[in-house]
Amino acid sequence: MTRPAPVVTPLPMEELRQALPQILAAPKDEGEVKAIVIRPAPGERRMVDQAELSLAGGVHGDHWAKGCWMSTEDGQPHPDVQICMMNARCIEAIAGEPENWAPAGDNLFIDMDLSPANLPPGTRLALGTVELVTTDKLHAGCQDFIDRYGRDACLFVNTGEGKTHRLRGIYARVTKDGTVKRGDRMRKIG
């Protein structure tokens, strides 16, 4: 099987580690939605300026609602992996310009500290007219992430401080349906 070409020239670990102080300086209580991505089908990505989010459908138009890697006992897509979010500073360090972010596979890229110390599972968040709650499901880089951004990028987010701070991202589920727009603020509400 032939692997696809990387999205960007992969950065070495040393350069990624140099970005860590800037990544860890992300806002703690309120951050900005920098990008929104809909994944219509596996491997497909579409950046949008706004999206509808609901408990029933996740990000409307996203393949999560059709089934995903984790399901409930009755075969439905599991709500605890409904919305994937990644620190925008981290993906920027790995991939550069926002047009290179969508292949990471996350729905929302937020300029905010997503670490478990700042947003433990059960933290309620408001963004746009949407409310979410963070879940305890692990989000980790995989072979696709390696193919798109390089082995060092995957190791950077999955090990050491990257793992401690959940730099690969977190999962959340919708608790209040609504709309989110690029540029909206995400803030902790409980």
Q: Is residue 78 part of a domain?
A: yes
Task: Specify if 141 maps to a domain.
Answer: yes
Q: Flag whether pLDDT at 1 surpasses 60.
A: no
Domain hosting residue 83, numbered range: 13-188
Residue 116 is part of a domain; what is its CATH number?
Answer: 2.40.33.20
Report the pLDDT averaged over residues 133-147: 89
Give the model confidence (pLDDT) of 34-76 as tens digits.
999 999 988 889 999 999 999 999 999 998 878 776 777 887 8
- Asked if 50 contacts 180 with a C-beta cutoff of 8 angstroms, the reply is yes
Residue 61 belongs to a domain: yes
Q: Is residue 48 part of a domain?
A: yes
Cα(66)–Cα(106) distance, integer angstroms: 16
**What is the pTM assigned to this prediction?**
0.93
pLDDT above 70 for 167: yes
Residue 20 lies in a domain: yes
Beta carbons of 31 and 125 less than 8 angstroms apart? no
Q: What is the mean pLDDT of the chain?
A: 92
Q: Would you say residue 39 lies in a domain? A: yes
Q: In the chain, what percentage of residues exceed pLDDT 70?
A: 96
How many Å is the Cα radius of gyration of the chain?
15
Distance, in Å, from the CA atom of 190 to the CA atom of 182, rounded to the nearest integer, reads 23
Would residue 6 count as lying in a domain? no
End-to-end CA distance of the chain: 47
What is the rounded CA–CA span in Å between residue 130 and residue 152? 35
In a domain, 173, yes or no: yes
pLDDT of residue 145: 92
If one counts the domains in the chain, the total is 1
CB atoms within 10 A of CB 83: 26
CA distance 96 to 180: 23
